[in-house]
Amino acid sequence: MDPVVLLIVVLVIVLVAVGVFAFMKQRRRKLQDRFGPEYDRSVATSGDRGEAERSLREKAARRDQLDIRPLGEEARARYADEWSLVQARFVDEPGPAVDEADALVARVMRERGYPVEDFETRNDMAAVDHPDVVEHYRAAHQIHSANASGHADTEELRSALVHYRALFDVLLRETTAGDQHTR
């Protein structure tokens, strides 16, 4: 083979490799920016960076197809009042209050346009838009589940309420759809 042709082939291969590497690095950086701490958690949980990144891209693509909308002032005030009632109920009935907090967060998500069929779906969409608080939601749900089987004490239930509140506050105060994922 002619040395000039060989050199050109090698240069093309190197350029393609550099381009692919730059593309992958840019795509990874976009995921890290969008998902924040959720990116690191997903990679650590999966053990396979490529698999974790594929999963995050799929979640983001599903989320981007949704029409997430802000709550109106009236709805925000109504939900804030409902939260106050949940907190007040906690004093006398902590378990049922945590159940109500879980249901209230789901109702707010539904009204905002999130799919709410099951926890995993809600969790995935919260992870896309609210990566800084989704871990609170997971912790709250775990305690909620333990409570359903009679394995949560009052302090854990109090913690669940605090965790639910973290996501609830973010869902309530957002005034424009998609604020979080366009950062």
Residues whose CB is less than 8 angstroms from the CB of residue 7 and which lie 6 or more positions away in sequence, other chains included = none
Domain ranges of the chain: 3-64, 73-182
* Per-residue pLDDT tens over the stretch 48-81: 999 999 999 999 999 999 999 999 999 999 999 9
Cβ burial, residue 81 (10 Å; 0-12/13-18/19+): exposed
pLDDT category of residue 175 using cuts at 50, 70 and 90: low
Share of the chain above pLDDT 90, in %: 78
* Per-residue pLDDT tens over the stretch 97-111: 999 999 999 999 999
Residues whose CB is less than 8 angstroms from the CB of residue 62 and which lie 6 or more positions away in sequence, other chains included = 124, 125
Q: Count Cβ atoms below 10 Å from residue 161 Cβ, excluding itself.
A: 23
Give residue 1's pLDDT: 78
Q: Are 183 and 128 contacting, i.e. CB atoms less than 8 angstroms apart? A: no
Q: Is the dihedral of CA 144, 148, 152, 153 positive or negative?
A: positive
